[in-house]
Structure 1
Amino acid sequence: MTKYDKVFNSPKTSEESLSPEEAVAAIATVTAIADSMIEDVDAESLAGILWEFEVFEEYSEDEIAEIVDRLLAIAEEEGIGPLFNAAKVSLSEELVLDGFAAGVIVLLDDELAIAKPKQAYLKKLQAALDLEDEEAEEIIKEVIAAFKEAEEEEYADDDDDETVVIEDFSEQTYQSPLGNFTVPIPVDPQQGGRIQSQEGVVGFSDDIGTLLRIDYYPFPLEQLEELESVGQEEYLQTILVDKYVPQAIFANVPDASVEYTEYLENTLRGAYYVLIDMPKGSTISKQENNGTAIRLDAYRGLLTFISGEFLYIVSSQHSFLDGETPDSLEEEAEDIKESILEFVETIEFN
């Protein structure tokens, strides 16, 4: 009996019916469980991975999370073999490659490679889905290439941003296109000061490590009911920690982690603050001897609050130059929080 017989050689099939899209999610779920315990699987991270798939573009995050929870429950009650068999039966011909890609993504390590111990599982998954070697290799290459491309993008300022290099500060303030705020420009063109903007975002940065960014979203009235139901602290925490950080930071800096959180009840009528440790996640880089550029380590602070008819997320970073040692976590959290609050004080909300 081989290691993965429980997955690929089970005679049983789950009695639960799956849609073709759920079958893709089931393959990802089985792959996540194959070398671990069900209770060790991070359902939220798994749902986040699936949310990036085009096949789930019509699904909300909550719907995908519900699917993952249901699949984990099936695996716990019936076993991963019956779940895989149900997935294989339910997987449409058009989604076979997506199913294999879902398994590949789950197996990728931090170096965007598939560790040797995991390659045996992937070979068996390939065989179970009746894929030729060339097809499987092409999918693996495409998945890795997509992740590398995402890592190379500026998470705040991708190529679609409208980037303006500031050369003249005759206009001393920046005004939001929606007219909801104005703010004095906080960077100096002589230090490489620049503005990156796109719909709902403006970032101010320079060559010496400054990063001040404002994300802003119209606050729909229907959200008031949810806010009042769960309370402002929990609502802001959910927006920042459960939604914004995974999409804007974790998706681009895999090793990033939330290290500090704080609810500021008496600030801005209630605000939620987090500090993120971002190894090799700074927006500035250092040049290696071989000519390659490597991003510096950084701490990123984010503060979210509601003002008028908009929800804001204001952020700042501290990048660590060669030889620079971070202060204690508490000191870094406090220093970056104060820098954000000082910046927020300069913003005039309309």
Structure 2
Amino acid sequence: MTSYEQIFNSKQTIEEALSPEEAVAAIAVVTTLADSTDEQIDAESLASILWQFEVFAEYSEEEIIEIVDELITIAEEDGVGALFNAASQTLSDELVWDGFAAGVIILLDGEKLVIPEEKQPYIKQLQQALKLDESEAQEVIQEITAAFQQTDNEDDLDDEEDILIVEDYSEEVYESPLGNFTVPIPVDAEQGGKIQSQEGVVGFSDDFGTLLRIDYYPIPPEQLEELDSTDKQAYLRSIMVDKYVPQAILQNLPDAAIKHTEYQEKGELNYYYTLVDMPLGSTISQQDNNGTITRLNAYRGLISFIQDDFLYIVSSQRSFFNGDTPDSIEEEAENIKESILEFVDTIEFT
């Protein structure tokens, strides 16, 4: 008899069916209760986690707290097995992945970015109960891990603690909340494409290592006047080398280092370019045979420039998978720079 038999082998049921959203939340509640009691559940913390899921996009955090409280009551009155059965019966094929992801995110060690060994039996049984095969389960785990990594590695320039909201999208063009630019979405949802945005930054990523990010900052009028009489190259270099890279990358990755810098004038675009070597600093990871998840090595290229009344920093990464050998710094710098410039050419500034 396993310690989770009361969950996964239960015959108990509840009278009323759950909604799809409640079913996803129920998996998170069941996972939390698997090794604890209802008195130990922090409904607000659980709701803040669930609020990041697209399925709860139309819900306020207060509404999700109410859902969590109701599900805890069901587990207390009817049993955690009954709650799991109700959830698994409701989850559609499309939402099974969300349900499993809700379980994973509850158990993931946010610092080590692994599911603790003692929790592995539970997550394996959850996978089997939701009828996910091994490859599907690992894909979900890697997506959750990558999301944690990206949040850790890509702090805003001002070191704000706002959460990057993961957006689903059906339009082909992304528009900045400030209305200062639009850009065709460069990733495909069918390949795990995601948009993560908040005012001042938007990132596009997918399961194949793509990362394209636009940071943008309004420049005060008085500062723009000063730039007319000062060296623009020195200004852009100071922003990039003295502030952005140290704050957004180096303080989170002590082994990272700037390997290449240059200033270029390309038509109307005057830009400062930097290449950063980031050992174990990619936004994606790989899982070893023993189950340990390790971040990939990567190079990050960044271009800073001024357009109208905004400072822009556009960046991209190149991750190195097993067997990948970097070219020379000069070649890597040139290739990544060209890919960023091609992306910049797709941006329409308004």
Q: Determine whether 1:236 maps to 2:236.
A: yes
Which amino acid in the other structure matches residue 152 of structure 2? E
Match of 1:155 among 150, 153, 156: 153
Identity over aligned residues, as a percent?
A: 66
Structure 1 position 198, deviation (Å): 1.6
Q: Distance in 2 between matches of 1:305 and 1:282?
A: 24
Structure 1 position 266, deviation (Å): 2.8
Give the alignment's TM-score, normalised by structure 1: 0.54
Secondary structure of the 2:281 match is: coil
**8 Å Cα contact 1:186/1:204 also seen in 2:** yes
Secondary structure of the 1:325 match is: coil
Name structure 1 gaps, 5 residues minimum: 1-149
Corresponding residue of 1:255 = 255
Count of residues paired in the alignment? 199
Q: Distance in 1 between matches of 2:293 and 2:223?
A: 43
**8 Å Cα contact 1:151/1:253 also seen in 2:** no
Name structure 2 gaps, 5 residues minimum: 1-147
**8 Å Cα contact 1:236/1:272 also seen in 2:** yes
Structure 1 position 233, deviation (Å): 0.5
- Measured against aligned partners, the alpha-carbon deviations of 1:53-105 in whole angstroms (never above 9, x if no partner) come to xxxxxxxxxxxxxxxxxxxxxxxxxxxxxxxxxxxxxxxxxxxxxxxxxxxxx
Structure 1 position 328, deviation (Å): 1.1
Query: For 1:60-75, what aligned pairs fall within 5 Å after superposition?
Result: none
- Measured against aligned partners, the alpha-carbon deviations of 1:263-309 in whole angstroms (never above 9, x if no partner) come to 01235431100100000110001112332221100000000000011
Structure 1 position 160, deviation (Å): 3.9
Corresponding residue of 2:328 = 328
Give the alignment's TM-score, normalised by structure 2: 0.54
Secondary structure of the 2:152 match is: coil
The 10-residue stretch of structure 1 (154-163 or 320-329) with the greater mean CA deviation from structure 2: 154-163
Secondary structure of the 1:305 match is: strand
Structure 1 position 164, deviation (Å): 2.5
Q: Determine whether 1:212 maps to 2:212.
A: yes
**8 Å Cα contact 1:233/1:272 also seen in 2:** yes
Secondary structure of the 1:270 match is: strand
Corresponding residue of 2:278 = 278
Q: Distance in 1 between matches of 2:245 and 2:311?
A: 15
Q: Distance in 2 between matches of 1:213 and 1:276?
A: 15
Query: For 1:95-106, what aligned pairs fall within 5 Å after superposition?
Result: none
Which amino acid in the other structure matches residue 211 of structure 1? L
Query: For 1:172-187, what aligned pairs fall within 5 Å after superposition?
Result: 172-187=172-187
- Measured against aligned partners, the alpha-carbon deviations of 1:299-335 in whole angstroms (never above 9, x if no partner) come to 0000000001110000000000011001111111011
Q: Determine whether 1:288 maps to 2:284.
A: no
Secondary structure of the 1:236 match is: helix
Q: Determine whether 1:318 maps to 2:318.
A: yes
CA RMSD of aligned residues (A): 2.0
Query: For 1:75-224, what aligned pairs fall within 5 Å after superposition?
Result: 153-156=151-154, 160-166=162-168, 168-169=169-170, 171-224=171-224
Which amino acid in the other structure matches residue 165 of structure 2? T
**8 Å Cα contact 2:285/2:296 also seen in 1:** yes
Corresponding residue of 1:40 = none
Query: For 1:35-50, what aligned pairs fall within 5 Å after superposition?
Result: none
Q: Distance in 2 between matches of 1:222 and 1:326?
A: 43
- Measured against aligned partners, the alpha-carbon deviations of 1:22-71 in whole angstroms (never above 9, x if no partner) come to xxxxxxxxxxxxxxxxxxxxxxxxxxxxxxxxxxxxxxxxxxxxxxxxxx
**8 Å Cα contact 1:151/1:252 also seen in 2:** no
Q: Distance in 2 between matches of 1:269 and 1:179?
A: 20
Secondary structure of the 2:301 match is: strand
Q: Distance in 2 between matches of 1:187 and 1:151?
A: 19
- Measured against aligned partners, the alpha-carbon deviations of 1:181-227 in whole angstroms (never above 9, x if no partner) come to 00000000111000011220000000000000000000111213443
Q: Distance in 2 between matches of 1:293 and 1:183?
A: 33
- Measured against aligned partners, the alpha-carbon deviations of 1:203-256 in whole angstroms (never above 9, x if no partner) come to 000000000000000011121344345401111000111110000000111111
Q: Distance in 1 between matches of 2:277 and 2:267?
A: 24
